[in-house]
Amino acid sequence: MKHALITAGSKGLGKQVTEAFIKKGYSVTVSYRSDYASVLRLREELGIDEKQLFAVQADVTNREDVISLVQQANETFGRLDVLVNNAGPYIFERKKLYDYEPSEWHAMIEGNLSSMFYLLKEALPIMRKQRYGRIIAYGFQDVGNAPAWLYRSAYGAAKAGLASLIKSVAVEEAEYGITANMVCPGKIVGDMKEASIETGKMHQDDETPIGRPGTGGDIARTVMFLADEHADLVTGAIIEVTGGVDVLHQNRHE
């Protein structure tokens, strides 16, 4: 049985991704920071137990926690086929870089960039030994071009760095049968983060060219494509899932 590790995979954008892997027959390890109740709810919804959905408490900004997370996942299931780094802090207050506290800058960089480094240091040896692996991170629209993003400078800088890291890893690890890609969600807010595509189609969104809001299901569908064993030709890619909305430029100039 293939195994996927999904950080923060029991709620938010990670929930539909976890469900998709479970339905595909994977065993899944999710990390959670404090909300273990969300893990229990997800197991109940899916009708499974810890043998198929394993959970580890971990703060992905903490290197020791990440080491323990990957080690426990590997010890439990004996392999690691897919790594999805869904976790990542975000500061909602809109402010200029000058107004950021050092602690806030540190949280954005550690939580959105360094965390991927910690995960890769633990996951890559396992994947190299298998000569197979799928690595997927999250970004934002146009992140591959390192654009300005007003009042989101710390988060934007971390994700732009992550985009470069993913592209580099894609080239460096290709010889081991490992791919690395980035998925960039568009406007997915509120309950839509945990909603299916079918639920999204029941709602109208006049700001989106396709006429409906994005959902966690849209992200899960894209992640599953990248995780497929036959998707080996797709690596170093940054895939935007936005429904045609120029979300980035709207947000950064408001």
On whether the CB atoms of residues 152 and 252 are closer than 8 A, the answer is: yes
Reduced to 3 DSSP states, what percent helix, strand and coil does the chain have, rounded to the nearest 5?
50, 15, 35
Q: Model's pTM, two decimal places?
A: 0.94
On whether the CB atoms of residues 117 and 136 are closer than 8 A, the answer is: no
Among the CATH numbers 3.40.50.720, 3.90.950.10, 3.40.640.10, 3.30.70.890, which is that of 3-253?
Answer: 3.40.50.720
What residues in the chain have per-residue pLDDT under 50? Answer: 248, 251-254
What is the pLDDT, as a whole number, of residue 208?
A: 87
Measure the CA angle with vertex 182, ends 171 and 120; round to 5°.
Answer: 60
| pLDDT tens digit sequence for 107-158 | 999 999 999 999 999 999 999 999 999 999 999 988 999 988 999 999 999 9
What is the pLDDT, as a whole number, of residue 245?
A: 78
Tokens 């580099």: give the residue: 168
Exposure on the CB side of residue 100, measured as CA atoms within 13 A: 20
Burial of 207 from C-beta contacts in 10 A (0-12 / 13-18 / 19+):
exposed
**Where do the H-state alpha helices sit in the chain?**
13-23, 36-46, 63-77, 102-109, 115-130, 153-172, 197-200, 216-227, 247-253
